[in-house]
Amino acid sequence: MRDHQLLRWLAEHYVLSTGQVAAALFPSLRAARLRLAQLHQIEAVSRFVDVTTGSGQYLYTLGPLGAVVHPTQFNDPNHAGARAPRTSIDRTERIIGSRRLAHLLGTNQLFIDLIGYARTHEHARLARWWSEQHTTAAYAAASYAAGSATGVQPDGHGIWHADGRTVGFFLEHDNGTEPLATVLRKLRGYEQLAGYGPRYPVLLRVPGRRREHHLLDALAGVPTAMPVATGLHGDHPAGPAWTLTAAPRQRRWLHELPSDHGPDNPATNPHRFPDTDPSDATRCDPQP
């Protein structure tokens, strides 16, 4: 079960570090290393040295056997519609050479942190973890059905249960390399989506307080159809890490953010998350 979960994640989210795999699935880093070495030996996973941080740890992608198990994996982090790779080695080379490698690892880290939190908190659960390409494709059809010209393209999408509340969110993982105007323009698609689909908070996660303050200043007094919250890379995403742009004097826990699954309309909101009993939020085996 654990091996299959790992392969599912690598099929959708491209790459995970040794530390991320250990935090999400294993009791210790040593146990993770031993099992990953076995999976690499049977070619279920491929690995290469992390070139983004100089840490020397391995990063893992799907290997030849893993690609057989998950033939419908996402293939190219730079181009969603790129030609399918000839082999799993081709796919791995695309990931290694991607200009978005550090961004992928940073995006995945937020979800790994939530999964790790759920492992030690009985009533917490990450019920949905979708990649950028999965989320973009899922909401594109809804956008078309609603007659909207603008879709959403978040870096990730999740559904989080904690303390009896269910909060959906869209993640914009910002490494500080884009002008603020570019970041703010991304909110237009979420504005349109909120008119016919879910009104989930958009999480603008930034590398430092200065950039966060600039975002909060730019959005001060600006009404949005959906909640917008800022947070810092180094703060744990499950905790009091989020500042709503509409109420910037207080940091909130992720489960405290306002969230609305949207109208129950299969045409324009086909992926509406079902309203469930909070007592169901006890599992920590998120499905992609």
Sign of CA dihedral 51, 52, 54, 57: negative
Distance CA 260, CA 241 (A): 20
Do residues 49 and 60 lie in contact, with contact meaning Cβ atoms separated by under 8 Å?
no
Q: What's the CA gap between 152 and 178, in Å, rounded?
A: 18
Question: What is the amino acid identity at position 229?
Answer: A
- Flag whether the pTM goes above 0.85: yes
Pair type for strands 58-62 and 45-49: antiparallel
Task: For 179-220, write each residue's pLDDT tens digit.
Answer: 889 989 999 999 999 999 999 999 999 999 999 999 999 999
Report which of 108, 161, 168, 97 is spatially closest to residue 132, judged by C-alpha positions.
Answer: 108
Percent of the chain residues past pLDDT 70, beyond the cut: 92
| Pairwise CA distance, residues 61 & 11, whole Å | 8
| pLDDT at 107 exceeding the cut of 80 | yes
219 sits in which H/E element: helix 209-219
- Cβ count near 287 (within 10 Å): 10
Which strands make up the sheet holding 58-62, listed edge to edge?
16-17, 58-62, 45-49
> pLDDT tens for residues 131-180?
999 999 888 877 766 667 667 899 999 999 999 999 999 999 999 888 88
37-82 pLDDT, tens digit per residue, is 999 999 999 999 987 777 788 999 999 999 899 888 887 677 776 7
Predicted confidence (pLDDT) at residue 282 exceeds the cutoff of 70: no
User: In this structure, is the dihedral angle defined by the CA atoms of residues 64, 69, 73 and 77, taken in order, positive or negative?
Assistant: negative
Give dist(CA 45, CA 40) in Å, integer: 5
Residue 247 near residue 260, CB atoms below 8 Å:
no
Task: For residue 269, give Cα distances in angstroms to 126, 138, 145, 194.
Answer: 21, 10, 9, 10
Quick one: tokens of 138?
């899922």
Mean pLDDT of the chain: 89
Q: Which helix (H) or strand (E) holds 243?
A: strand 240-244
pLDDT score for 286: 36
